[in-house]
């Protein structure tokens, strides 16, 4: 079976606070390392009451310090929000402190609403246009060959693995052209996954970093002892994503017995489309559906997002999913 990893947002649950969310993320990183997960990535978001991962590089250091071998990375850093030089210094510092364990995933979305995006960087839209050039500039700062007057210390020579993140076919063209590994956000934007994979594979040009196409797909996973229990736990995820649709971002709510009482039908239709690549159920159900997904897409790795209100249930979900992956490997 293919490698499997974790995407975490340090989600704040109802009745909790950011400090507790961050410490739960740290506990999760330690736990999934023991379970055999390959990576633990965190994503940059801003002005969202339910997400505490805004200062992403700071949190990645906190996660790396608590672990010893799992790769720690960004899924991702929204590069138009930042100077490529500063990102080279931040991640160069992380790589210096935790050698050969840091991944740098880059996206071009704001990770927030437009008003907040303007507050982050007033000329951000120009930097979105400059995204390909800024990726190349960042690669230069991290390379051994950089001989310019502006050099990143720490950073230069670390050659941290860079990933291109995306949720549309635009990112597939760029990842292929640059010869970089490609992570697709199919856990919330599934519609263009198949087309993006096809484009990336067809157009891929080998690079110094990567000789062959490598695709990681984001998926939602909620595993439990019974499928009924998993569907109950998944109602928190559905309520959270309704907030994405409506713009009402509140702390992750507890699960409910009847989702129809809290989510209108029109939003449920949108959710069904948005969460198409969600694997909810017991181990047997998830294993069957996941095998079908991997056969259909041919992805090289999956990255699991699990938005579960109860922290112990979340840990258990990751444990059950790890067992699914290991049992599949043993049966091959």
Is the predicted pLDDT of residue 247 greater than 90, yes or no? no
pLDDT at 151 over 60: yes
Secondary structure (H, E, C), the chain: CCCEEEEECCECECCCCHHHHHHHHHHHHHHHHHHCCCEEEECCCCCCCCECCCCHHHHHHHHHHHCCCCEEEEEEEEHHHCCHHHHHHHHHHHHHHCCCCEEEEEECCCCCCHHHHHHHCCCHHHHHHCHHHHHHHHHHHHCCCCCCCCCCCCCCCCCCCEEEEECCHHHHHHHHHHCCCEEECCCCCCCCHHHHHHHHHHHCCCCCCCCCCCEEEEEEEEECCCHHHHHHHHHHHHHHHHHHHHCCCCCECCCCCCHHHCCCHHHHHHHHHHCCCEEEECHHHHHHHHHHHHHHHCCCEEEEECCCCCHHHHHHHHHHHHHHHHHHHHHC
What angle, rounded to 10 degrees, do the helices at 56-66 and 18-35 form?
50
pLDDT bracket for residue 322 (50, 70, 90): very high
Quickly state the pLDDT bin for 178 (edges 50, 70, 90): very high
Question: What would the pLDDT profile of 82-132 be if each residue is shown by its tens digit?
Answer: 999 999 999 999 999 999 999 999 999 988 888 988 899 998 889 999 999
Angle between helical axes of 265-274 and 227-246 (0-180°, round to 10): 100
Q: Is the pTM of this model over 0.85?
A: yes
Look up residue 236 and give its two tokens.
């928190």
Residue 332 has pLDDT above 80, yes or no: no
- For position 331, what pLDDT does the model report? 58
Question: How confident is the model over 39-68, as pLDDT tens digits?
Answer: 999 999 999 889 999 999 999 999 999 999
Output the pLDDT for position 330.
58
CB 50 within 8 A of CB 250: yes
Within a 10 A sphere around the Cβ of 186, how many other Cβ atoms? 27
Res 240 pLDDT > 60: yes
Report pLDDT digits (tens) over 269-279. Answer: 899 999 999 99
pLDDT of 31 higher than 80: yes
**Per-residue pLDDT band at 208 (split at 50, 70, 90):** very high
Neighbouring CB atoms inside 10 A of 286's CB total 25
pLDDT-derived band of residue 76, with 50, 70 and 90 as boundaries? very high
At residue 243, the pLDDT reads: 86
Token pair in block for residue 192: 């263009």
On average, the pLDDT of the chain sits at 95
When pLDDT is cut at 50, 70 and 90, the band that residue 28 belongs to is: very high
pLDDT at residue number 329: 66
Contacts of 19 (CB under 8 A, 6+ apart): none
Q: How many residues are present in the chain?
A: 332
Q: Choose the weakest-confidence range: 51-55, 244-248, 249-253.
A: 244-248
Please give the pLDDT value at position 248: 82
Q: For residue 111, what pLDDT is reported?
A: 86
What is the percentage of the chain residues whose pLDDT exceeds 70? 99
- Evaluate if residue 180 carries a pLDDT over 90: yes
User: In percent, how much of the chain has pLDDT > 90?
Assistant: 86
Q: What domains are there in the chain, each with its CATH number? A: 4-227+277-331 (3.20.20.30)
- Mean pLDDT value across residues 140-151: 93
- How large is the average pLDDT for residues 33-37? 98
């Amino acid at each position: 079976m293919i490698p499997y990893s974790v995407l975490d947002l340090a989600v704040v649950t109802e009745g909790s606070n950011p400090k507790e969310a961050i410490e739960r993320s740290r506990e999760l990183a330690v736990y999934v390392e023991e379970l055999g997960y390959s990576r633990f990535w965190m994503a940059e978001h801003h002005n969202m009451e339910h997400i505490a991962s805004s200062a992403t590089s700071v949190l990645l250091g906190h996660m790396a310090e608590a672990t010893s071998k799992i790769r720690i990375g960004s899924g991702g850093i929204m590069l138009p929000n930042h100077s490529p030089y500063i990102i080279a210094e931040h991640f160069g510092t992380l790589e210096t402190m935790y050698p050969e364990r840091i991944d740098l995933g880059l996206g071009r979305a704001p990770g927030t609403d437009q008003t907040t995006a303007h507050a982050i960087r007033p000329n951000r839209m120009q930097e979105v246009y400059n995204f390909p050039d800024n990726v190349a500039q960042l690669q230069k700062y991290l390379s051994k060959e950089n001989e310019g007057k502006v050099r990143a210390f720490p950073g230069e020579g670390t050659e941290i693995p860079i990933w291109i993140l995306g949720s549309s076919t635009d990112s597939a063209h760029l990842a292929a052209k640059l010869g970089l590994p490609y992570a697709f956000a199919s856990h919330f934007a599934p519609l263009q996954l198949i087309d993006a994979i096809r484009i990336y594979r067809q157009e891929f040009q080998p690079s110094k970093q990567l000789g062959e196409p490598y695709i990681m797909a984001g998926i939602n996973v909620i595993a439990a002892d019974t499928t009924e229990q998993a569907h109950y736990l998944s109602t928190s995820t559905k309520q959270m994503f309704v907030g994405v649709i409506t713009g009402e971002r509140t702390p992750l709510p507890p699960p409910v017995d009847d989702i129809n009482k809290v989510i209108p039908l029109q939003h449920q239709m949108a959710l069904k489309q948005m969460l198409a690549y969600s694997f909810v159920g017991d181990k047997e159900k998830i294993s069957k559906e996941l095998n079908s997904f991997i056969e259909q897409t041919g992805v090289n790795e999956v990255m699991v997002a699990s938005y579960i209100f109860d922290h112990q249930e979340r840990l258990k979900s990751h444990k059950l999913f790890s067992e699914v992956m290991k049992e599949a490997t043993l049966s091959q």
